Amino acid sequence: MDKFVIQGGRPLNGTVAASGSKNASLPLMAAALLARGTFTIHHTPDLQDVHTLANLLRIIGCRVQYDPVGKDMLINTENVHHFEAPYELVKKMRASIYVLGPLLARYGEARVSLPGGCAWGPRPVDLHIEGMKQLGADIDLDGGYIVARKDRLIGNRIKFPISSVGATGNVLMAAVLARGESVLENAAIEPEIVALTQFLAAMGAKIDGIGTRKLTVQGVDHLYPTHFDNLPDRIEIGTFMIAAAMTRGDVTITNVIHEQIEAISEHLIRAGCTIEKGDRRIRVKGPETISPVNVITDVFPGFPTDMQAQWIAFMTQASGPSSIVDQIYFDRWKHVPELERLNAKLRTDGNMCKIDAPATLKGAQVMSTDLRASASLILAGLAAKGTTEVLRVYHLDRGYEKLELKLASLGAEITREKYEEFVKLDTEE
C-alpha cells in the first residue's frame, strides 16, 4: 500500500491548476449510456473512481478509452448488452448507481447492486428507487440488487423530499427518454447536476429550468452522442485554498469557476485570508492570525459537506474555538479521532463538531478512512510540527489527482512511499 510522508511547517507558495471534477465526470460518463455512438468528455480527471466507472461501463459493453495526458474520455456505446452493475464495483464506489437511470430508460431493464453502507454511516438510495417507480418502473429487490424493468418509462411529477445530488441526476437521466413530460421539484442545483443537465441538453434532451430547483423535461425518443468540457473540481480547489491558508502561504489556483466556490471563499475571507479573483484563477494568502469561523454545511450554494473535514483541520489553527455543523451527513466524523492523534482538540456531539483552538499540531502516524478525511489529515500534516505519515492513501487517490505532486510543486515536503500492512481490512466506501 501507499502512504504519504509529510514534513510539516512549510508555507505553500506558487501556482497550481485544478483538475477536472470527479463528481461531475461520473454522471456524465453514465449518461453516455443514453445514446448510441461515441462520446468525448474533455478534462476527465485521472482518478480511481473514474477508472472504476470506466470498468463498469466496459462490463456493460461500452468501449472506453482514456488518455491520461490529454484527459479525454472516449466512450463508445454501440455494443451495450449487459445491463448490470455488479456488487464488486458498486461497493467500491456508490456512484456506480448512476447507471440505473440510463440503462432502464434506454434498454428497459437494469440490475444494479445496492451499495450498502458507506464509510461514515448509512447512505440510502431510496430516493433513486422511488423516482424510478414514479416514472413507471417495476422494481424488485433481489439478492441485494435493484432489479428495474419498464419498456418505456412514463413522465411524471416527482417532488424530492430532500435535495439529493445523486437522485436528481439518476431520475433526470431516466426522465429524458420517458414518454411525455416529467417535472422534477426540489431538484439539486449543485454545479455537477447543472453540468449533467447541459450535457443531456447537448445530446438532444428537452429540459427547461436548467440550474433551478424545478426541472421540466419533455421526453424524447432518441438522444445523440456529444462532446463536452467537464467542470473543474470545486472540492479540490477548496482543499488547495485551505492548504494555502493554513500554512500561511500564497497560492494561485487556475481553472477556477468562481461562482462554484463562493461559499468557501467567503468563509476564508472571514477567517482573515486575502482573496484575489482573476480570470478563472484565484489567489489565496493565509493570514498571520486565523480567525475562528463557525460553519454549517448545506446544499449548494451553501458550504459543501465535502469540505467539512478540511475545514476542521484548518480551524485547529485558528486563534480561538469554533464549531462546524454538518446538515447533510449526521455522522461524518471518521477523521476526528485521527486528527486527535495529531493533537487536535475536538469534540463531537450529534452532527456538531467543536474545535478547541489554537492547537499545536504534532506529527504522527494516522489512517485515511475516506476520501475527504484523507485530505484533512494531509492538511493537518502540512501544518504540524515534525513528520506525519498518512496511511492508506488509496482513499485519497479515488478523488484527488496527484495531490502529493501538486502540493510538492507548491513547496510542501511530501512523498509517496510503499509500506506493508499486516492486517488488511475490507475497504468498502
Instruction: Count the site residues for ligand UD1 by CB under 6 A.
Output: 19
Min dist CB 244 to ligand UD1, Å, is: 22
Min dist CB 76 to ligand UD1, Å, is: 23
Rounded Cα–Cα distance for residues 41 and 366 (Å): 36
Bridge partners of 64, per DSSP, are 75
Min dist CB 17 to ligand UD1, Å, is: 21
User: Given candidates 306, 401, 404, 429, which one binds ligand UD1 under the rule CB under 6 A?
Assistant: 306
What is the spatial order of strands in the sheet that 2-7 belongs to? 365-367, 387-391, 2-7, 413-418
Binding of residue 95 to ligand UD1 (CB under 6 A)? yes
Min dist CB 248 to ligand UD1, Å, is: 29
Min dist CB 276 to ligand UD1, Å, is: 27
User: Given candidates 166, 191, 249, 381, which one binds ligand UD1 under the rule CB under 6 A?
Assistant: 166
Residue 309 near residue 333 (C-beta atoms within 8 A): no
Question: Measuring CA to CA, how many Å separate 387 from each of 1, 145, 363, 400?
Answer: 19, 45, 5, 22
Binding of residue 124 to ligand UD1 (CB under 6 A)? yes
From 158-166, 251-259, 312-320, 400-408, give the range in contact with ligand UD1 by CB under 6 A.
Answer: 158-166
The three-state DSSP-derived secondary structure of 275-344 is EEEECCEEEEECCCCCCCCCEEECCCCCECHHHHHHHHHHHCCCCCCEEEECCCCCCCCCHHHHHHHCCC
Binding of residue 305 to ligand UD1 (CB under 6 A)? yes
From 68-76, 79-87, 126-134, 334-342, give the range in contact with ligand UD1 by CB under 6 A.
Answer: 126-134
Start-to-end CA span in the chain (Å): 17
Rounded Cα–Cα distance for residues 220 and 204 (Å): 8
- Residue number, 94 or 285, with CB nearest to ligand UD1: 94
Binding mask 260-299 for ligand UD1 (x = CB under 6 A): ----------------------------------------
Min dist CB 89 to ligand UD1, Å, is: 14
Residue 46 near residue 71 (C-beta atoms within 8 A): yes
Question: Measuring CA to CA, how many Å separate 256 from each of 262, 283, 329, 408, 410?
Answer: 11, 10, 26, 20, 17
Which residues inside 313-372 make contact with ligand UD1, applying CB under 6 A? 328-329
Binding of residue 167 to ligand UD1 (CB under 6 A)? yes
Binding of residue 128 to ligand UD1 (CB under 6 A)? yes
Position closest to ligand UD1 via CB: 166
Q: Strands (DSSP E) along 118-180, which ranges? A: 138-142, 145-149, 157-159
User: Given candidates 23, 77, 265, 316, which one binds ligand UD1 under the rule CB under 6 A?
Assistant: 23
Bridge partners of 276, per DSSP, are 283
Residue 306 near residue 260 (C-beta atoms within 8 A): no
Query: What three-state secondary structure class fits 122?
Result: coil
Residue in 148, 215, 226 with CA at minimum distance from that of residue 184: 215
Binding of residue 164 to ligand UD1 (CB under 6 A)? yes
- Residue number, 306 or 397, with CB nearest to ligand UD1: 306
**Is there a catalytic annotation at residue 118?**
yes
Q: Which residues bind ligand UD1 (CB under 6 A)?
A: 23, 26, 95, 123-128, 162, 164-167, 192, 305-306, 328-329
Catalytic residues, by residue number, are: 118
